[in-house]
Amino acid sequence: MAGKGKKPIKITETILRDAHQSLIATRMTTEQMVPIIDKMDKVGYHSVECWGGATFDASLRFLKEDPWDRLRKFRDGFKNTKLQMLFRGQNILGYRPYADDVVEYFVQKSIANGIDIIRIFDCLNDLRNLQTAVTAANKEKGHAQVALSYTLGDAYTLDYWKEIAKRIEDMGANSICIKDMAGLLLPYTATELVTALKETVDIPIQLHTHYTSGVASMTYLKAVEAGVDVIDTAMSPFALGTSQPATEVMVETFKGTKYDTGFDQQLLAEIADYFRPIRDEALDSGLLNPKNLGVNIKTLLYQVPGGMLSNLTSQLKDLGAEDKYYEVLEEVPRVRKDLGECPLVTPSSQIVGTQAVMNVIQGERYKMVPQQTKDVLSGKYGATVKPFNPEVQKKCIGNAEIITCRPADLIPDELDTLRGEMAQWSEQDEDVLSYALFPQVATDFFKYREAQKKKVDPNMADNANKAYPV
User: Which residue stretch of 4-12, 15-23, 38-46, 97-105 sits at the interface with Co ion (rule: CB under 5 A)?
Assistant: 15-23
C-beta closer to Co ion: residue 149 or 384? 149
Which listed range, 14-22, 143-151, 336-344, 414-422, lies at the site for Co ion (CB under 5 A)? 14-22
How many residues are recorded in the chain? 470
Supply φ then ψ for residue 212, to 5 degrees: -40, -50
Q: Which residue of 13, 18, 100, 248 would you call a contact of Co ion, by CB under 5 A?
A: 18
Q: How far is the CB of 317 from Co ion (least distance, A)?
A: 24
Cα–Cα dist 107/433, whole Å: 10
Give how many residues touch Co ion by CB under 5 A: 1
* 65 interacts with Co ion by CB under 5 A: no
Given a contact cutoff of 8 angstroms between Cβ atoms, the answer to whether 302 and 213 are in contact is no
* Nearer Cβ to Co ion (208/365): 208
Complex with Co ion: residue 18 or 65, whichever CB lies closer:
18
Q: How far is the CB of 149 from Co ion (least distance, A)?
A: 10
Q: Report the C-alpha gap between 151 and 157 in whole angstroms.
A: 10
How far apart (Å, rounded) are the C-alpha atoms in residues 291 and 289? 5
Q: Smallest distance, Å, CB 124 to Co ion?
A: 17
- State which residue, 18 or 414, has the beta carbon closest to Co ion: 18
CB-hemisphere CA count at 13 Å for 352?
29
- Smallest gap from Cβ 469 to Co ion, in A, equals 57
Q: Which range touches Co ion (CB under 5 A), out of 18-26, 57-65, 87-95, 185-193?
A: 18-26
Q: Which runs of E-coded beta strand occur in 202-312?
A: 205-209, 230-233
What DSSP element (H or E) covers 469?
none
Separation CA 9–CA 16 (nearest Å): 20
d(CA 72, CA 68): 6
* 232 in contact with Co ion (CB under 5 A): no
First-to-last alpha carbon distance for the chain, in angstroms, is: 71
Q: How far is the CB of 32 from Co ion (least distance, A)?
A: 20
Find the residue with minimal CB distance to Co ion: 18
Q: Which stretch binds Co ion (CB under 5 A): 16-24, 111-119, 126-134, 444-452?
A: 16-24
The nearer residue to Co ion, 224 or 234, going by C-beta atoms, is: 234
Rounded CA separation 104/123 (Å): 19
Site residues for Co ion per CB under 5 A: 18
